[in-house]
């Protein structure tokens, strides 16, 4: 059984797919549902995905597919509207392919979601861009990229201006480098350590102090899978 917000979100996504063939951005979903942060959208999408109502199309930005609608989602004469491989879903797939073709050979396009701090936490922005990444740098799972801002992870070989390749995950082991969301608002790239009932986010630069938070304030958004660096 879906919550009211889950109902509202899946209907909004389906409406946008029918109108444009492209799923809405996280910012558009946040505004449509009057949510305070995009992390709330992430949670709703994950819940709908777990229940089999939507599916993420891998390695594409803004690519959601509505697999089925709730039983009380009616159209026209009041009949429940099934979602299959035709109609809006097919239109979304065709349009997505025309906008972002399948990468050839061993290059994959991953969503580029703005900047992330390797210093004091800053907002991690949901973007609509993408960047090509060699498939050899990515393992299994869904990935996204973030541009690194700051120097607190230099001793781990992560520098300002690098692009962090992140595998989506909401769990991590002690000592792994993660994207940590603090208070549902700010994200940072750090080593994760558990210290009793608290979470410690450790830098890799002696000039910075660890950041310690109550465990409920920190959510893991992904684990570092690789790095890309531009040389000018």
Q: Which residues are catalytic?
A: 152, 190
Instruction: List the one residue out of 155, 79, 77, 146 whose CA is nearest residue 117.
Output: 146
d(CA 20, CA 229): 35
Written as six digits, the tokens of 35 are 């949510």
Which residues face 220 on adjacent strands? Answer: 180
Measured CA to CA in angstroms, residue 157 lies from 105, 127, 154 at distances of 29, 25, 5
Per the document, the length of the chain is 232
Instruction: List the one residue out of 231, 222, 230 whose CA is nearest residue 113.
Output: 222
d(CA 227, CA 147): 10
d(CA 34, CA 157): 40
Which residues face 74 on adjacent strands? Answer: 80
- What's the angle, vertex CA 110, arms to CA 157 and CA 158, rounded to 5? 10
């Amino acid at each position: 059984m879906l919550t009211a917000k889950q109902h509202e979100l899946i209907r909004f996504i389906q409406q946008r797919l029918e109108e444009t063939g492209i799923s809405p951005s996280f910012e558009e979903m946040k505004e449509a549902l009057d949510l305070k942060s995009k992390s709330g959208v992430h949670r709703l999408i994950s819940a709908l995905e777990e229940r089999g109502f939507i599916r993420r199309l891998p390695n594409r930005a803004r690519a959601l597919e509505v697999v089925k609608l709730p039983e009380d989602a009616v159209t026209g004469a009041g009949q429940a509207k099934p979602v299959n491989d035709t109609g809006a879903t097919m239109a979304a797939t065709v349009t997505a392919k025309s906008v972002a073709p399948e990468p050839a050979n061993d290059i994959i396009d991953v969503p580029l979601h703005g900047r992330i701090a390797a210093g004091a936490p800053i907002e991690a922005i949901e973007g609509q861009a993408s960047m090509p990444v060699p498939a050899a740098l990515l393992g299994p799972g869904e990935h996204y990229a973030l541009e690194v801002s700051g120097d607190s992870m230099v001793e781990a070989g992560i520098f300002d201006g690098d692009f962090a390749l992140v595998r989506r995950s909401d769990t991590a082991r002690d000592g792994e480098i993660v994207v940590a969301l603090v208070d549902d608002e700010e994200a940072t790239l750090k080593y994760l350590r558990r210290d009793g009932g608290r979470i410690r986010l450790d830098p890799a630069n002696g000039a910075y102090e660890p950041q310690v938070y109550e465990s409920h304030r920190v959510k893991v958004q992904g684990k570092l899978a690789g790095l890309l660096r531009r040389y000018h």
